[in-house]
Amino acid sequence: MLVGPPGAGKTTVGRVLARRLDLRFTDVDAVIVQRAGKPIADIFTQDGEDAFRALEREVVATALDSTEGVLALGGGSVLAASTRERLRDHRVVLLWVSLTDGLRRTGVSTARPLLAGVNPRATFKALLDARAPLYREVATVEVDTTRRSANQVARAVLIEVAQVHPGVVSEPVLAAALGSATPPHGVPRPGADPLDAPTPAAAVPLPDPLVRHHR
C-alpha cells in the first residue's frame, strides 16, 4: 500500500513497482472517478468534501479487502480513523515529498481542489504539517521522493520493504533493484533504464535509499 501527500508520486511509483513485481496496480482515486462518473474536482464542487470522503472510505475499504497487488491511496485517505485502523494489518509505504518538490509537481492543478487558493505554498505546508503524523502512524516504511526519479524511488521501496518485511520481495526482483543502483555521480550504468537518471531538479543526487523505519 502506498500513502503520502499530493505530489509524492504514489501513482507513478506504484505503476513502476507493479511492473517490477509483476502485480496489478490499483489507484484509489481512479476507482473513485470511475464510480462517481466525474472528476474528483467535480465531486468536491458539486457534492462537497464530506460526500467525497465517504465515497473514498468505501472504496478504500473494498480495495483493502479484495485487491491484490500494489494499491495507491489518495492523499487524504488517512484522515479517516477507520481507514487508518484497516491499514494496521497491511504493509504500508509512505512516500514523502518536500514542500518545494510537492508544489512543483502538483502546480495549481484544478484536479487537486484542496490545494487551490491564493497562497498554494501556505496551503500545501499546512496540509503536510497536519497529515504527516497520520501518514507515519500507518507506515511501516518511509521513502523520501524529493528530487528522485520514479525508478530511484521504486528501488528504494523494494530494498527497504525487503529488509522490513522479509519474503515479500522475491530474490530476483531484489537482486535487480540492488544491481541497478545509480552510481554516486548520478550517471546511469550502460544499458540502464533512462528513468534511472536524476530528475532535472536534482542539483545534488540524494543517497539511495533514503528511508526511515516505522514500527
Question: pTM to 2 decimals?
Answer: 0.81
118-146 pLDDT, tens digit each: 678 888 899 999 999 999 999 999 999 99
Structural domains counted in the chain: 1
The three grid cell numbers given for residue 68, joined into one nine-digit string: 491484490
CB-CB neighbours of 117 under 10 Å? 12
H/E stretch holding 212 = strand 211-213
Average pLDDT estimate for 175-193: 57
Structural domain boundaries, residue 127: 2-213
- Least confidently predicted of 8-22, 84-98, 117-131: 117-131
What percentage of residues in the chain have a pLDDT greater than 70? 78
Query: Which strands, in side-by-side order, build the sheet including 211-213?
Result: 25-27, 70-72, 2-3, 93-96, 141-144, 211-213
- 171: CATH: 3.40.50.300
Of 106 and 147, the one with more pLDDT: 147
